[in-house]
Structure formats: structure tokens, C-alpha cells
Amino acid sequence: MRKIQNIGTKISLSSIGRSGKKQSRKTILVAGGAGFLGSHLCKRLLDEGHTVICADNFQTGRSANVLELTTNSSFSVIRHDVIKPLKLAGPLDEIYNLACAASPPKYQQDPIHTMQTCVNGTLNLLNMARDKGARFFQASTSEVYGDPVVHPQSEGYFGNVNPYGPRSCYDEGKRAAEALCHDFAERYDVTVKVARIFNTYGPQMLADDGRVVSNFIVQALRGEPITIYGSGSQTRSFCYVDDLVDGIVKLIRSDGSVTTPVNLGNPVEFTIRQLAELVIEQTGTGSHLKMCTLPVDDPKQRRPDISKAKQTLNWEPSIMLAEGVRRTTAYFASQLQAEPQAISESA
């Protein structure tokens, strides 16, 4: 893997981005860049011609996710835990904070570290944004709404979070991180953009990630029982990763009128049982449904109101669940062929 290099160079150069428009070349830090969303984001930013530094502690990230990117001389990787301050020489234009395990079984493995990641990690990166004059993106979450009693969830809803339970390290950690973002924007004039991300899936999730889409697809491909927690009547609204990354980039580059959190997600809602049926149909698996215990505090329903993202960012998802599941299944099927152990360790 490439070592960190050339930090702070080339920022006066320009490049042609995906839009075909000439844009200034930026130096960008992606914390959590070796994870599922982070690795897609690093690729997108490199494709736009920017210099990208990925900082990750590899808790749930993988070097394989960014291996292909390391052939690009504008990309570098640092192994770093964001709960400690990160020192980088030279200017930075943008910082994306995606560092934090997102899957409930993963973030609950070491809940105290999860809280530290959310609070100390965000604080350290905000301090860096302040020092460098960089724009700051915070990956917040629909979990700030907890088990919502208002449906669908718009940004004005304050949520229904259990502050004392197994999900609290993540939900409350992310809420505290939002408060820090608010205060750095108000007190120190840092340009902060907060996205509340709703369930996003796609290639480069870990086979053993534990979240529902990867679990169901991997189980179906292996012909194993598909594990439905509870009755399967709980709902989620699933966003494909390419749509989400597009929304993230639009948000960080948005003008000064966007100062408060924005929901990013696909507003089409499914029950978990419907998702299982879709996966079974698409894979043609002989897997049967296995009913399991519902985890504590599992939200019963979730659907984003994305009016604000539509109006302020001109953004809405374009890839619907059937297509996204097809693409994600193709990814896991090729993983299974390439390295069967990566799948057989799963779920």
C-alpha cells in the first residue's frame, strides 16, 4: 500500500471532473475511506482529479476496498484511529468524516470505542478543519431519529432515541457529533455539512458486515437460511451507494444557504420480509426464511423525507432496489468465485 506523500502539492492545478467541467484540484482527507461508503467516495473524488488521503484504522475497512486506487499517485492511505488527533502537513480543502463502524453488530462490539470515535474523532477532525480552513462533511445517520414515532422522518424531527441501551453508543454518539458540528460552525465559522444517511448498500460491503442487505444476499448465494429478525414487518428504505455518494459530494459543495443537516436516502420503503423475497426471487436460491429474535431497540419503521435534498441540492436517488440488489448480488457472486472463504466466513 502507498505511503502518504505529496500532501499539499498540486492544489493550484486544475482537472476535468465527471461533469466534464473544469474544476480546481483539491486536496481531500477521507476519514473511514477504506470502508464501504468511504472507498466509493475516494474513487469518486480521484475520478474528479483530486488528491485524496484516506485515514482509517481498518476496524471494518479493508485494504482490498482501496487496493485498486493505490495505483493512482494522487491517492495515499494512512492507518490512523481518529480518536487521536491526526497531524498532516500542508493545506486541505475538504475533510469527509465517515470514520465509524455502521453495522449494529460491529459498532456494538466495542461500544465505548464507538462513542469515542463519534465524539473524540469528530472533535479531532473538526479541529483540523478549523486549522486548515477546510470544508467539513459529517456522515450522520437516520439513527439520530431512533425508533421514530413520526413517519416519514424530516430533518425537523428531534427523534426518539433510547439513551441507555445497546444502540446508544452509536445513536447518541452521532447526535453528539452533530452538536459538535453545529458549534464549530457557529463559534469558529467552519463550513460544515451534515448528511443524515439512511440505510445504504452496495458492492464492497463486507460479507460478514451483519447488515441486512449483505446478510440476505450472502445467505442466498450460499443456500443458507435467510435470517429474519422479528416478524420481518419492520421497514427500511434502501439507497444504492452510487446515489448516496453523489448526494454527499453535492452536499459538501453546496452554497452557504445549506447550514443544517440534510437527509440522504431513498424514500421507497420496504418491509424486511419484502427484501428477503426480492433476494430469493433474484438469486433463485433454495434458501428458506429463518425467524430470529428481534434485536433490542430495533427501529420499527424508517423512511426519509428528502424534500430538502431535492430542493437545496437538486438530488434524488435514481437506482431502485431491484437494480441495486442485482448489482450487489453480482458483486458478492464474483467474490464467492474469486475467494470462497470471503463468503463462507459470513453472517
What value, to the nearest 5°, has the Cα angle with vertex 181 and ends 315 and 140?
A: 50
Q: Is 35 in the site for ligand NAD (CB under 6 A)?
A: yes
Based on the residue annotation, tell me whether 170 is a catalytic residue of this protein.
Answer: yes
Q: Within positions 103 to 132, which residues make up the interface with ligand NAD, using CB under 6 A? A: 117, 121
Q: Is 178 in the site for ligand NAD (CB under 6 A)?
A: no
Nearest-angstrom CA–CA distance, 108 and 170: 8
| Single-letter amino acid code for the residue at 153 | Q
95 vs 212 by CB, closer to ligand UDP: 212
Least CB distance to ligand NAD at residue 201 (A): 7
234 vs 287 by CB, closer to ligand UDP: 234
Nearest-angstrom CA–CA distance, 224 and 198: 27
Q: Which of 170, 229, 240, 331 is catalytic?
A: 170
Q: Report the residue from 30, 34, 42, 213 that binds ligand NAD according to the rule CB under 6 A.
A: 34
Q: Total residues contacting ligand UDP (rule CB under 6 A)?
A: 14
Least CB distance to ligand UDP at residue 103 (A): 6
Least CB distance to ligand NAD at residue 10 (A): 25
Under a CB-based contact definition with an 8 Å cutoff, are residues 325 and 278 in contact? yes
What value, to the nearest 5°, has the Cα angle with vertex 138 and ends 136 and 141?
A: 165
Which conformational region is residue 103 in: left (phi greater than 0), alpha (psi within -120 to 50 degrees), or beta? Answer: beta
In DSSP terms, which residues pair with 196 in a beta bridge? Answer: 140, 263
Q: Report the residue from 74, 141, 168, 266 that binds ligand NAD according to the rule CB under 6 A.
A: 141
32 vs 49 by CB, closer to ligand NAD: 32
Q: Report the residue from 140, 234, 254, 346 that binds ligand UDP according to the rule CB under 6 A.
A: 234
Q: Is 328 in the site for ligand NAD (CB under 6 A)?
A: no
Under a CB-based contact definition with an 8 Å cutoff, are residues 192 and 316 in contact? no
Nearest-angstrom CA–CA distance, 289 and 234: 15
Task: For residue 87, count other CB atoms closer than 10 A to its CB.
Answer: 7
157 vs 229 by CB, closer to ligand UDP: 229
Residues 6+ positions from 197 with CB-CB distance below 8 Å:
37, 139, 140, 141, 142, 239, 244, 264, 265
Least CB distance to ligand UDP at residue 140 (A): 13
Contact characters 259-298, ligand UDP, x per CB under 6 A = -------------x----------------------x--x
Burial, 3: exposed, middle or buried (Cβ in 10 Å; 0-12, 13-18, 19+)? exposed
What value, to the nearest 5°, has the Cα angle with vertex 157 and ends 301 and 187?
A: 135
Q: Is 203 in the site for ligand NAD (CB under 6 A)?
A: no
Considering CB distances under 5 to 8 angstroms, the limit depending on partner class, which of ligand UDP, ligand NAD, none binds residue 212? ligand UDP
Q: Is 228 in the site for ligand UDP (CB under 6 A)?
A: yes
Q: Within positions 43 to 102, which residues make up the interface with ligand NAD, using CB under 6 A? A: 56-61, 81-83, 98-102
Least CB distance to ligand NAD at residue 15 (A): 26
DSSP annotation string for 82-142 = TTS-----S--SEEEE--S--SHHHHTTSHHHHHHIIIIIHHHHHHHHHHHT-EEEEEEEG
Q: Which residue has the cell 463468503?
A: 343
Q: Is 157 in the site for ligand UDP (CB under 6 A)?
A: no
Kindly list the residues in this chain that would bind ligand NAD in the complex (CB under 6 A).
31-32, 34-38, 56-61, 81-83, 98-102, 117, 121, 139, 141, 197, 199-200
Catalytic residues: 170
- Per CB under 6 A, residues contacting ligand UDP are 103-104, 199, 211-212, 215, 227-229, 234, 236, 272, 295, 298
